[in-house]
């Protein structure tokens, strides 16, 4: 509303605040832009800024209108855009009401196996357990005992890390980008070409102690593990399901309204 409030009322007795070609901005157009409690100086700055921005906007529009190509049908473009907004809003409501958003593990695996060539890794990923711990963190002797058998002590490790660790990953099935690890755990054995499964080490820097246990490695160019691309696959399945739903709904609507004679197709 703020940008379209240029009055063209020739009968107004108000003095324009600004005029750009045949468009004018009047005091009544800017009522309410200054809230209560604003001092006079800030109020003046706010109003002047609004007026200047309005004038710039109207100037650009005016110049643009003067330079519209002869073959540009603005009214048709506006109408097409209006109709696309109406359709989009209706389709969104249909999707919210009728789309089944449950995707089973069977569906995910079936899609994954049918499209393996789409899931080649562009970076090496690893699965393991990683803790970046400030050197002053307490009870590290207990942590070291848990670390010897991280699978059995996963819950204890997670609770300890949530309190004291700077960064950590102790879940069994999560895959992580090796470049991220190399940035957070600065040792040469975490580089792209040298990392390998079975790595288990603890190292110290001036500020941190790093606990690193690499269980599995899948290298760049190989097929990504299913769990690594699972969320992407779910999005693909739901997008495909959405388009199928909308296509079916359109066909059903078309057939129904044909039968009701609300849609009439004339033969050539």
pLDDT per residue as tens digits for the range 141-178: 999 999 999 889 989 999 999 999 999 999 878 899 88
Confidence of residue 37 (pLDDT cuts 50, 70, 90): confident
In a domain, 80, yes or no: no
In a domain, 212, yes or no: yes
CA gap 90, 87 in Å, rounded:
5
- Name the burial class of residue 114, with classes exposed (0-12), middle (13-18) and buried (19+) by CB atoms within 10 angstroms of its CB: exposed
In a domain, 152, yes or no: yes
Residue-number span of the structural domain to which 45 is assigned = 2-67
CA gap 53, 264 in Å, rounded:
50
In a domain, 266, yes or no: no
pLDDT above 50 (res 261): yes
In a domain, 183, yes or no: yes
Q: Which of 245, 200, 233, 29 is nearest to 113 (CA)?
A: 233
* 220-249: average pLDDT: 95
- Tell me, yes or no, whether 233 and 202 share the same domain: no
- Tell me, yes or no, whether 59 and 15 share the same domain: yes
CA–CA–CA angle 27, 29, 32 (5° rounding): 90
- Tell me, yes or no, whether 109 and 237 share the same domain: yes
Number of domains in the chain: 3
Confidence of residue 3 (pLDDT cuts 50, 70, 90): very low
In a domain, 91, yes or no: no
- Tell me, yes or no, whether 7 and 26 share the same domain: yes
pTM of the entire structure? 0.69
Query: Contact at 8 Å (CB) between 24 and 18?
Result: yes
- Tell me, yes or no, whether 27 and 62 share the same domain: yes
In a domain, 168, yes or no: yes
> Helix, strand, or coil here: 126?
strand
- Tell me, yes or no, whether 191 and 243 share the same domain: no
In a domain, 199, yes or no: yes
- Tell me, yes or no, whether 26 and 150 share the same domain: no
Query: Contact at 8 Å (CB) between 113 and 198?
Result: no
- Tell me, yes or no, whether 141 and 193 share the same domain: yes
């Amino acid at each position: 509303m703020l940008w379209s409030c240029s009055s063209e009322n020739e009968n107004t007795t108000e003095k324009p605040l600004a005029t750009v070609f045949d468009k004018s901005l009047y005091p009544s157009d800017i009522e309410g832009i200054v809230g209560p409690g604003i001092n006079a100086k800030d109020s003046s700055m706010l109003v002047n800024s609004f007026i200047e921005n309005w004038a710039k906007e109207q100037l650009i529009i005016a110049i643009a209108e003067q330079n519209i190509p002869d073959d540009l049908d603005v009214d048709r473009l506006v109408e097409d855009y209006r109709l696309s907004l109406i359709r989009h809003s209706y389709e969104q409501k249909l999707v919210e009401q009728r789309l089944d958003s449950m995707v089973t593990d069977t569906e995910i695996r079936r899609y994954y196996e049918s499209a393996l060539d789409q899931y080649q890794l562009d970076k090496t990923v690893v699965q393991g357990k990683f803790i970046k711990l400030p050197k002053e963190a307490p009870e590290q002797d207990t942590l070291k005992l848990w670390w010897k058998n991280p699978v059995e002590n996963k819950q204890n490790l997670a609770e300890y890390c949530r309190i004291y660790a700077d960064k950590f990953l102790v879940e069994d099935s999560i895959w992580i980008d090796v470049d991220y690890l190399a940035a957070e755990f600065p040792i040469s054995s975490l580089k792209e070409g040298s990392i390998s499964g079975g790595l288990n080490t603890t190292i110290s820097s001036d500020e941190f102690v790093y606990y690193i246990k690499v269980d599995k490695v899948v290298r760049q160019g190989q097929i990504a593990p299913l769990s690594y691309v699972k969320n992407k696959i779910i999005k693909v399945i739901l997008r495909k399901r959405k388009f199928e739903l909308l296509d079916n709904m359109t066909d059903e609507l078309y057939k129904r309204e044909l039968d009701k004679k609300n849609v009439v197709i004339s033969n050539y």
